[in-house]
């Protein structure tokens, strides 16, 4: 029996064997390419953002659809960071860190922004409403937003925030309390659309920070956001998404309450399987998306074969990759899908 995308993921999260292994590529700015637009303008227009997500689903029939193009910077921009427009095939990026030289008092005065014309908080909310309304009955749909720690990094600057953790930990916690409250408010707005919420903590990647820093400055604040979502909304389960070396963070991810872990094909799957046994965490095996863009099929096949071997008998495993680049052709991603489903 062929399942719908939604039924397939429902079975996977319950640890039951689906009809095939789900296919979950990371499609963000690549969606802009599919509608022949550069990422910058699409990230600022709810209609275009929705079109990008819907076009991707039409082409790839992937088992989780994410709504978002500039997935890292909408929240930092609303908090006061200057963000580039995103020229040609590039995505917007943070240019200024408004709290880089701020005192603790100024951090305490950091206001929590609300939806308005001066920010894009409502842009992704509107796009999510459109996408969920059209395909939400058939497939899991997720809204994208940056997490509390990554927002704090963009406000303070990475090197300065790391120094703060050594010299003034209370300052860091005050800043994280503020970004967490903001994250909870935006996550609530996105959850109201019916979508699940992905929190992207790209600045929390190992080895950018240590496991000890992750435990103190990432885990408790992401947990607060996820507990708010779980306690108030019946959406797809919330997740914390980041790359890097996940092996040393497995127990922390379980403590956070994430529903999905993005795991590199080189990871220690025996460790991950042992730690996540009995949980409802989805394990997304990821390959390097540059291999797909540059058509390095032999190397890509080796990565897929490794994942196929490591994930044998895992009903909670899904195929995936890192962020699909804007320059990747649809034909290449479809070939990658075929390779995954044939493995």
What pLDDT digit, counting tens, does each position of 60-79 carry? 999 999 999 999 999 999 99
Q: Which residues, in sequence order, are bridge partners of residue 200?
A: 146, 241
Predicted local confidence at residue 274, as pLDDT? 93
Predicted local confidence at residue 245, as pLDDT? 82
Q: Whole-angstrom Cα distance, residue 215 to residue 31?
A: 34
Mean pLDDT across the stretch 304-316? 95
Shortest CA distance to 2 belongs to which of 138, 176, 132, 169?
A: 138
Between 233 and 108, residue with greater pLDDT:
233
Cα angle 127, 133, 137; round to 5: 130
Q: Longest C-alpha distance within the chain, in Å?
A: 61
Q: Whole-angstrom Cα distance, residue 215 to residue 140?
A: 29
Structure-derived torsion over alpha carbons of residues 53, 58, 64, 67, reported in degrees to the nearest 10: 10
User: Which domain covers residue 84, as residue numbers?
Assistant: 5-342
pLDDT score of 56 more than 80: yes
Q: Which two tokens stand for residue 257?
A: 């309450």
H/E segment holding residue 321: strand 317-323
Q: Whole-angstrom Cα distance, residue 70 to residue 44?
A: 9
Which is it for strands 317-323 and 23-26: parallel, antiparallel or unpaired?
parallel
Q: Which two tokens stand for residue 10?
A: 């429902």
Q: What is the pLDDT of residues 31-52, one digit of tens each?
A: 999 999 999 999 999 999 999 9
Mean pLDDT, all residues of the chain = 95
pLDDT score of 105 more than 80: no
Predicted local confidence at residue 6, as pLDDT? 97
Q: What is the pLDDT of residues 74-88, one digit of tens each?
A: 999 999 999 998 777
CB 70 within 8 A of CB 39: yes
Predicted local confidence at residue 174, as pLDDT? 96
Q: For 287, list phi and psi in degrees, rounded to 5.
A: -110, 170
Predicted local confidence at residue 272, as pLDDT? 94
Output the domain CATH number for residue 266.
Answer: 3.20.20.210
Q: Which two tokens stand for residue 296?
A: 């390095």
Q: Whole-angstrom Cα distance, residue 152 to residue 129?
A: 28
207 preceded by a cis bond (ω within 30 of 0):
yes
Cα angle 70, 227, 25; round to 5: 35
Q: What is the pLDDT of residues 128-138, one digit of tens each?
A: 999 999 999 99
Predicted local confidence at residue 85, as pLDDT? 86
Mean pLDDT across the stretch 161-169? 96
CB 98 within 8 A of CB 155: yes
Q: Which two tokens stand for residue 123?
A: 């842009």
| 112 φ/ψ sector (left φ>0, alpha ψ -120 to 50, else beta) | beta
pLDDT score of 89 more than 80: no
Cα first-last separation, the chain: 20
Place of tokens 């996540």: 276
Q: Which two tokens stand for residue 51?
A: 């079109």
Q: For 333, list phi and psi in degrees, rounded to 5.
A: -70, -35
E strands in 18-115 = 23-26, 64-67
CB 190 within 8 A of CB 238: no
Q: How confident is the model at residue 91 (pLDDT cuts 50, 70, 90)?
A: confident
Q: Whole-angstrom Cα distance, residue 180 to residue 42?
A: 27
Q: Whole-angstrom Cα distance, residue 263 to residue 286?
A: 6
Q: What is the pLDDT of residues 241-271, one digit of tens each?
A: 998 888 999 999 999 999 999 999 999 999 9
> Could you give the number of structural domains in the chain?
1
Predicted local confidence at residue 103, as pLDDT? 79
Mean pLDDT across the stretch 277-281? 91
Q: For 322, list phi and psi in degrees, rounded to 5.
A: -65, -175
Q: In angstroms, how far is CA 289 from the centroid of its own chain? A: 15
């Amino acid at each position: 029996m062929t399942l719908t995308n939604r039924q397939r993921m429902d079975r996977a999260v319950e640890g039951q064997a689906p009809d095939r292994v789900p296919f979950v590529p990371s499609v963000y700015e690549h969606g802009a390419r599919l509608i022949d637009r550069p990422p910058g303008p699409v990230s600022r227009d709810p209609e275009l953002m929705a079109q990008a997500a819907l076009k991707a689903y039409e082409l790839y029939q992937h088992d989780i659809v994410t709504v978002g193009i500039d997935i890292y910077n909408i929240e930092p921009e609303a908090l006061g960071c200057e963000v580039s427009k995103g020229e040609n095939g590039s995505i917007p990026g943070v240019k200024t860190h408004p709290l880089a030289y701020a005192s603790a008092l100024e951090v305490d005065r950091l206001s929590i922004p609300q939806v308005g014309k001066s920010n894009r908080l409502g842009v992704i909310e509107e796009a999510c409403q459109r996408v969920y309304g059209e395909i939400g009955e058939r497939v899991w749909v997720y809204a994208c937003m940056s997490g509390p720690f990554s927002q704090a990094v963009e406000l303070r600057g990475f090197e300065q925030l790391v120094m703060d953790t050594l010299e003034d930990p209370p300052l860091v916690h005050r800043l994280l309390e503020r970004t967490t409250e903001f994250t909870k408010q935006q996550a609530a707005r996105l959850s109201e659309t019916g979508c699940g919420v992905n929190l992207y903590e790209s600045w929390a990647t190992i080895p950018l920070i240590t496991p000890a820093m992750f435990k103190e400055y990432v885990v408790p604040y992401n947990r607060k956001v996820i507990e708010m979502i779980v306690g108030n909304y019946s959406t797809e389960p919330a997740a914390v998404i980041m790359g890097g070396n996940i092996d040393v963070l497995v127990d922390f991810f379980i403590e956070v309450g994430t529903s999905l872990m993005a795991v590199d094909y080189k990871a220690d799957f025996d460790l991950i399987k042992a730690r996540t046994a009995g949980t409802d965490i989805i394990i997304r095996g990821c390959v390097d998306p540059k291999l797909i863009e540059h058509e390095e099929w032999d190397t890509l096949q080796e990565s897929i074969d490794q994942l196929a071997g490591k994930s044998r008998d895992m009903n909670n495993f899904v195929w995936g990759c890192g962020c699909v680049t804007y320059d990747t052709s649809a034909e290449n991603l479809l070939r990658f899908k075929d390779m995954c489903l044939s493995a």
